[in-house]
Amino acid sequence: MEKLRQFEKDSEICMYYECEPERFLGAVIPPTFGNSLFLYPSLEELGNAVKDETEHYVYWRGTNPTVEIAEKKLAALEQGEQCKCFASGMAAITAALFYSVKKGDHVVCVSHIYKSTVDILKYLQKFGVEYTVTQSTSPEEIEKEIQPNTKAIYIESPTDMTFKMVDFEKIAALAKERKIKTIADNTWATPLFQKPLSFGIDMVVHSASKYLGGHSDLVGGALITSSHIMKKLFKKEFLLFGGIMGPYEASLLLRGLRTLPMRMKAHEENAIKIAKFLEGHPKVARVNYPGHPSSEDQEIIKKQLLGFSGLLAFELKDASFKAVKAVINNLKIFKIGVSWGSFESLVMSPNYGYNTADLKKEQISEGLIRLSIGLESTDDLIRDLEQSLERI
Ligand code: PLP
């Protein structure tokens, strides 16, 4: 019941919060403010505004009224105090990491996170920041990797490709004891189905290019945190780095948010049925999806997730590249491509035939196929998978 009420409240935020028509001449949706700067009647008033660009509209790199509406909605959905939107998910992740560390610091990064995030940690080495990737997602394993100079723990839950859950509450507690900042990528669940800040996580990052946008026509990112952290981060990693979201992208994000609750319900319903079909298929070795009862993380799932999105993976019993490419290339409805979280069903594999050594090192099955379940008919999607699995 509580879960349902939360979902209804969040749906209201997605559609109407901060969009009161009386603020915008009765417009049913807020206008897109395309002006790059705002005018002031006197130098003194401009001087007062530039002192705090979070509270005043000065220049679009700082605060834009259209982007601000999306930021207020995302902050409310994540139950955080402040949000800033970025040019991409990677820009938001970079800002969170650069804010958290300085020369000589160390980052613990949970295993199987989005690969480019690990690449940013690698890049940070040139500024004297070290990192360790944990062997598993367990809090004990994460705790073991903490060093005296650890200043940040970076989490993605569920993890990339393996879809293992990470216990936010336990990790936030052990990090707080040691004054370590925690950052969680919440792109998979969206703020509708998981709220990391409510478990004590310090910063949440999103790629808005996935479900939040939802139509494969937007690249964007968001960072949600306390006012205390945002006050400092806004001036440096946001305003100075300049990787900000523009108002036209924000209007696409706002359009995506209006239908996010309904889309997420449909993605969830479709994906649960498809995971069940795959689990029972004789050519499938395992299904990686928190929405399927075979997931080992039931305790964390019950505590942490309010629902399941539509991104999952399965592993073929025949893990050869020949089998992987036969299944993928014979699919008709699933399109082959990167990214995920949109209306269209997508398929890919981290196995490109030339990188098996990397997959072994990363402990990812060579027979893994990732599906982003879209909004098409589930029966059609299952029929499509059925006929392509018959090819091997
Ligand atoms: N986080 C996750 C989990 C992702 O899958 C991605 C992109 O695929 C990103 C972050 C990066 O987001 P963007 O592509 O918007 O920079």
Proportion of the chain above pLDDT 70, given as a percent? 100
Query: What CATH fold (topology level) applies to the domain 261-389?
Result: Aspartate Aminotransferase, domain 1 (3.90.1150)
Q: What is the pLDDT of residue 294?
A: 86
> pLDDT averaged over the chain?
97
Q: Tell how far the Cα of 185 is from the centroid of ligand 1, in angstroms.
A: 9
The residue whose CA is least distant from atom 5 of ligand 1 is 114
Per-residue pLDDT reduced to its tens digit, 212-236: 999 999 999 999 999 999 999 999 9
pLDDT digits (tens, 9 = 90+) for 163-210: 999 999 999 999 999 999 999 999 999 999 999 999 999 999 999 999
Question: Rounded to the nearest whole angstrom, what is the distance from the C-alpha of residue 152 to the centroid of ligand 1?
Answer: 19
Instruction: Provide mean pLDDT across the span 287-300.
Output: 94
Rounded distance from Cα 94 to ligand 1 centre (Å):
12
368 pLDDT band (50/70/90 cuts)?
Answer: very high
d(CA 246, CA 149): 37
Determine contact, residues 209/79, Cβ cutoff 8 Å.
no
* Short-list 324, 212, 346, 208, CA closest to 271: 346
Establish whether residue 113 lines the binding site of ligand 1, counting it when its CB lies within 6 angstroms of any ligand atom.
no
Gap from CA of 118 to ligand 1 centroid (Å): 12
Over range 79-106, report the average pLDDT.
98
Q: Is the pLDDT of residue 1 over 90?
A: no
Could you give the CA distance from residue 377 to residue 368 in angstroms, rounded to a whole number? Answer: 24
State the average pLDDT over residues 381-387: 98
Cα distances from 204 to residues 17, 89, 134, 265, 351, in angstroms, run 20, 11, 20, 22, 29
Does the beta carbon of 249 lie inside 6 Å of ligand 1?
no
State in Å: Cα 25 to ligand 1 middle: 36
The SS3 call for residue 203 is strand
Q: Per-residue pLDDT tens for 28-64?
A: 999 999 999 999 999 999 999 999 999 999 999 999 9
- Residue-level pLDDT at 29: 97
Choose which residue among 112, 188, 210, 312 to substitute to test ligand 1 binding: the one with the highest number of ligand atoms within 8 A of its C-beta.
210
Q: Ligand 1: which residue has its CA nearest to atom 12?
A: 89
Give per-residue pLDDT as tens, 303-350.
999 999 999 999 999 999 999 999 999 999 999 999 999 999 999 999
> Residue 29 C-alpha to ligand 1 middle, in angstroms?
28
Q: Render pLDDT for 236-279 as a digit per residue (tens, 0 to 9).
A: 999 999 999 999 999 999 999 999 999 999 999 999 999 999 99
Strands (E) across the chain are located at: 82-86, 106-109, 130-133, 150-156, 181-185, 203-207, 221-225, 284-288, 311-316, 335-336, 346-348, 368-372
| 94 Cβ closer than 6 Å to some ligand 1 atom | no
pLDDT in tens, 116-164: 999 999 999 999 999 999 999 999 999 999 999 999 999 999 999 999 9
How far is it, in rounded angstroms, from Cα 162 to Cα 128?
30
